[in-house]
Structure formats: C-alpha cells, structure tokens
Amino acid sequence: MTTVRATPATPPPRLPVRDKASALDRGWGGVSPMLTRLAAERATGILVRERGTLHLADGKVVHAESPAAPGADVLLAAHGTLDPGIWRQALAESVASTGATGTGARRLTGAEAVHRAGRRLVAGGLLTPGALEMCRLTALYDAAYFALAPSSTPGRFRYSTEDGPDAPADVPPEPDGAPGVPHPVPVADLERETLRRRDLLHRIWPDALPDEVPLAREHRPAPPPLPARRRAVLARVDGIRTASEIARELGRPAFHTLVDIRRLVAAGVVSPCLPTPFTEPLAGTPGDGTPVHPVDPHITLLKRLRDALEAL
C-alpha cells in the first residue's frame, strides 16, 4: 500500500469529482453507456435491449419499440383519428412496395415500415402531418423510456442500414423540416428526458412495483375525488391488468399511465398485487378462490416515512 505524506509544501492530491453540470449538458446520466458511444460513433443500426429496441440512423434515434408501450398506430386509432384497418393496409402496401421476395430488394426494418406507412397516409390525405409526427414522437419517447430501463442483460447492437426518414417510392420526397417528415431524436435529448421521467415517477411514489405487476383497488370508506383521466384508469384496475395493459386499452402512452397509477397508489386507492411465494400457502382453503391481501397499509406508511427521511 502506497502512502502519501502531506506537508505544507505538498498538500494531498484532490480526489476526482465528476462535473454534474457538464454531465447534464452531455445528456448522459448513466442511462446507457453503449448508446452514448454509438451516438458519438454516429452509428446506424438497431440496439436491442432487454425491454425494447432503439433504431439509430447516423447516431440519432429514429424509432423505438417496447412490449410495454403502445405503438403509434394504437395512439392514432385510440380516439378515432385513424381506422386500424387503414393503418394495417398502409403498412402492408409499404412493405410490398419494396419488391417481392427474391428480387434482391432489402427487407424493411420496423422503423422504415412505420415511417413509410405514415408518409403514405399523409400523401393520401388520410392523416395530417402534425398528427403523424406528434404520435410518432410520443410513441418514440414512450417506448424508449422502457427500452432504456435498467436491465440484467447487456444490450446488443446490430449494424445495418436505416432509411426511416425516406418516403416510399410512389410518394414524392419532401424537403427536410417539412411537416410529416420524421425527425431523428438526438441521444442526449432522449437520455435527458428518460432521466426526467424517472425522477418524476420517483417523486410521486418511490416504489416501482406498481409499474409491472397486476393492480388491485383499495376499498376506502371515503375515497378522494379524482380527475376524469385518473378515474378512467381506476375503472380498469381489476387485480389482473397491469399498467401496460391499461395503457393499451385506453390508447394512451404507457408512461402517462404510470404517472396516473403511481398517483393512485400514493392516494391509497390502488395497490400492487404482490406475487405469492411458493413457500407460503394461500389464505383460505384450497380452491376457494380467496384473494391474497396486498401489503399491510401500516407497512406502506412506514416505508413512505422512511423514504421521506432518506430524501432529507
């Protein structure tokens, strides 16, 4: 072990301190070092992670997918903006426009197929450019939040070509910056927004368990008044549905649904259904369907007090 003798003439060396301001400017807060490296490399391809995928073009994100988040087609069809059958038809025509199998045409990636289908609908007057871009960006940030979640397995990147912003062959090209033309998202912006969303959910309710497990109602004698948006979420809490399933049924972004659910949990109206360990028998006689009760509310209150004290 090497020791450093400190004297008035030679003060001890200072420990390295990370500059938080410069880290914020870079937009990287430890979300995905691999994604940060790919952005610096200006790589093109698909980053596959445990909970989703990110499509990159020239180091920027052009598309994101996650099983936990509804796609742009779900958001467009949720409130009558677009008929689901029309979207499926446009998607099939976009894929078919690249040529049949065996012609040497490259197979479209998921991002390219979605982009071309959207451009086809805009060119046909079935969808406004603003609605397409708003839903595309909403779905991208929503899926990226889950794709960039901490995972137990390393990500894999597959280098390829990604020409999502291009239009299909039968749709005239539009100049960059025109409405409806997909705009790639810088990785720094995506990581900064992901960190902001994590912090928001933590401030509402620090436990992430309600994000993934089935949810159940807490029957209270005098439940607090709820806005219409949260009442719609509560109406679908039945002890079986998860947050992602509720978001898909409502046609809403999954992250926005998580915000509503954590607020309901914080208000004591909803609680997560904890999985039952195999070593503990179910309450009641076998086969009588007696539900397993959620966490004791006193324990939940103590945990909230502990988290508040630790945050001081």
pLDDT value for 95:
76
| The pLDDT value given to residue 53 | 95
pLDDT digits (tens, 9 = 90+) for 88-113: 888 888 777 765 444 445 566 667 77
The domain ranges of the chain are 27-196, 205-275+292-311
Per-residue burial over 223-247, b = 16 or more CB atoms within 10 Å of its CB, e = otherwise? eeebeeebebbbeebeeebbbbbbb
Q: Check residue 164 and give its pLDDT.
A: 43
Q: Closest by alpha carbon to 201, among 139, 135, 257?
A: 257
Higher pLDDT, 279 or 216: 216
pLDDT-derived band at 271, boundaries 50, 70, 90: very high
Closest CA to 35 of 21, 20, 52, 56: 56
Pairing of strands 156-159, 45-49: antiparallel
3-class SS at 270? strand
Most confident of 66-80, 152-166, 238-252: 238-252
pTM confidence score: 0.72
Per-residue pLDDT for 205 more than 70? yes
Contact 77, 251 (CB under 8 A): yes
pLDDT at 100: 43
Q: For residues 178 and 162, is the Cβ–Cβ distance under 8 A?
A: no
Q: Which residues contact 157 (CB under 8 A, 6 or more apart)?
A: 34, 38, 43, 45, 46, 47, 48
Mean predicted confidence (pLDDT) in 305-310: 67
User: What secondary structure letter does DSSP report for 211?
Assistant: G
The residue that leads in pLDDT, 183 or 22, is 183
Three-state DSSP at 291 gives coil
DSSP string, 38-78: HHHHT--EEEEETTEEEEEETTEEEEEE-TTS--HHHHHHT
**CATH fit for domain 205-275+292-311, picks 1.10.10, 1.10.3470, 1.25.40, 1.20.58:** 1.10.10
277-297 pLDDT, tens digit each: 545 454 554 445 445 455 555
What is the pLDDT confidence band of residue 298, given thresholds at 50, 70 and 90?
low
Using the CB atoms, write b or e for 66-101: b if 16+ within 10 Å. Answer: bebbbbbbbbbbbeeebeeebbeebbeebbeebeee
In this prediction, residue 107 carries a pLDDT of 61
Whether pLDDT at 181 is above 60: no
Calpha distance 217→200 (Å, rounded): 23
Query: Positive or negative, the Cα torsion across 212, 218, 224, 228?
Result: positive
Task: Please state the rounded mean pLDDT for residues 196-217.
Answer: 95
* Residue 63 β-bridge partners: 55
| pLDDT grade for 171, boundaries at 50, 70 and 90 | very low
Express each pLDDT in 103-162 by its tens digit. 445 566 667 777 888 888 888 888 888 888 888 999 999 999 999 999 888 899 999 865
| Interval 270-283 mean pLDDT | 67
